[in-house]
Amino acid sequence: MSESLHILITGAAGMIGQKLIARLTREPRLGGKPIERLTLVDVVEPAAPNNTPFKVTSRTGDLSLPGEASAAVADSPQYVFHLAGVVSGEAETDFEKGYRVNIDGTRFLFEAIRSREGYKPRVVFTSSAAVYGGPFDGPVTDDFQLTPHSSYGVAKAIGEQWLADYSRRGFFDGVGIRLPAITVRPGKPNKAASGFFSSIIREPLAGQNAMLPISEDTLHSHASPRAAVNYLLHAATLDTSGLDQRPNLMMPAVACTIAEQIEALRKAGGDAAVARIRRVRDTLIERIVSGWPHQFEAKRALALGFVPDKSFDEIVAIHIEDELGGKAAA
């Protein structure tokens, strides 16, 4: 392996992809080696960073079409961050698209890597807490069964199994990270059923109203976008010899109720920010959210050095620092 690095990021136009690119641009090293080149792939054109200390190649292509994945790995990047995917809501409403992108796209990428002679990159795969289905009697522990209750969760569970098998067979060196909800998601509100967990913080801090569709007693687990990028980078450099052929890991998260989220908002933005939350009950969202796991005991990941946010207060502070230039709306 050469001393300088080539990294491939799929789904590079997405939220986590853009955060990862920004971080690598600020800190252009991985595993102690300088980054020489970044290849970005997305079905929509990924925004390429300016003034990077490394070469950036952007490819606009659909990974679920034959040939695209082979082209993406043609120059044998040593690290592959596979972030491309169709998110939970869309994978449920458009079954064919969800399976095509989340299953076929992942398979094509893994096969493209396998078919390159002498090529064995580190592959970091973003799985999701959606691989777990209820009933939940308490926190989800590391050996909790995977019984997904959504097409999105099924696709992620399939990807995890392939990642484990391709790693066991020596086709690549994989680490799968099961991300919790990433909060506060920057940008515009999206249609994800979980979107309000971010909206009730993001919109009030920007001086706008937000809807809260479910009870404030609801407990849920979160990681900031900054923590998600830390997880990706740690997964990329982790010594995989200690994973005992179980390369898929639940990531740690901050568990709190919506009431606690609102108190964190009050501390950061005052009563005026809290007053921008409108309570509009939505029984569909209530039903969907009640089927999700809400708390995780990620002992393996913690022991392997994955570091979560300290509290929901810190998650709000990260949002204000990274997205609002350090200042919330009055």
Ligand X SMILES: NC(=O)c1ccc[n+]([C@@H]2O[C@H](COP(=O)([O-])OP(=O)(O)OC[C@H]3O[C@@H](n4cnc5c(N)ncnc54)[C@H](O)[C@@H]3O)[C@@H](O)[C@H]2O)c1
How far apart (Å, rounded) are the C-alpha atoms in residues 69 and 63?
A: 6
Least separation, in Å, of the C-beta of 162 and ligand X? 14
Closer to ligand X at the Cβ: 144 or 266?
A: 144
Least separation, in Å, of the C-beta of 236 and ligand X? 15
CB nearest ligand X: which residue?
14
Closer to ligand X at the Cβ: 34 or 66?
A: 66
Q: How far is CA 217 from the centre of its chain?
A: 25
Residues that bind ligand X (CB under 6 A): 10-11, 13-17, 41-44, 62-64, 83-87, 101, 105, 126, 128, 179, 181-182
Inter-residue contact 266 to 273 (CB < 8 Å): yes
Closer to ligand X at the Cβ: 14 or 269?
A: 14
Pairing of strands 254-257, 181-182: unpaired
Structural tokens at position 113: 């890597």
Specify whether 119 is catalytic: no
Least separation, in Å, of the C-beta of 104 and ligand X? 9
Catalytic pick from 99, 152, 166, 231? Answer: 152
How far apart (Å, rounded) are the C-alpha atoms in residues 227 and 311?
A: 12
Least separation, in Å, of the C-beta of 318 and ligand X? 15
Pairing of strands 140-141, 219-223: unpaired
Closer to ligand X at the Cβ: 18 or 78?
A: 18
Give the N- to C-terminal CA distance of the chain in Å, as an integer: 53
Q: Which residue has the tokens 């969760």?
A: 153
How far apart (Å, rounded) are the C-alpha atoms in residues 79 and 69?
A: 14
Which of the residues are catalytic? 152
